[in-house]
Amino acid sequence: MLDMEQARFNMIEQQIRPCEVLEGRILELLKQVRREHFVPKDKREMAFMDLEIPLGYGVSMWQPKLEARTVQELHLTHSDKVLEVGSGSGYLTALLSLLAGHVTSVEIVPELSAMARQHLLAYHRDNIALEIGDAALGWGGAASYDVIVLTGSTPVLPAAFQNSLKVGGRLFAIVGDAPVMEARLITRVATDAYETVNIMEACVAPLQNALQPKRFVF
């Protein structure tokens, strides 16, 4: 029988800290939100392993270190309004909701949205709105957010996401084509100015209907 607490401790010490996630409140959050509750029952033994966990529908949970590093890089505050593109299992949604003011999480696969809703019930969070739809090219029209997180990669980053950031807002996106992708943090530093920092190499499945580059046809 897997000792969940020991496995969680090992995950934090052997995967999370070596990935430069050292902020106390993030490490505390990883103990508080029980990752094993968000993993499909038949894959619970994999909950703390350094790998992606398939959820079905071509979607996987990120590696724990990518989730933790993303949350740390976003420097969330309790007044932040967050847009999450791709609810998946709801685990990242839960992490974000405990540090931010409000999270709107959009999922294109209704079954995954239902799964996330079920998983999140135990946390009694009233600052999460789960919506169903295709947000691969943006969401909410003229809505503006402090933080946007894309949980699937995109070969080309649609301008709509940057345009939806408030000044001071942060966008986390994994951009590129497999096997070469870069996790980027883009900050809107002024109305018409953005700062991009490459955080780490990461390779995850693309968002359904992600924006494609114009490819040459011969």
pLDDT at 77 over 80: yes
Tens of pLDDT, residue by residue over 92-149, are 999 999 999 999 999 999 999 999 999 999 999 999 999 999 999 999 887 899 999 9
> What's this model's pTM, rounded to 2 decimal places?
0.95
* Annotated domain spans of the chain: 4-201
For residues 86 and 207, is the Cβ–Cβ distance under 8 A? yes
Residue 22: count of CB within 10 angstroms of its CB: 10
The domain made up of 4-201 has a fold known as Rossmann fold (3.40.50)
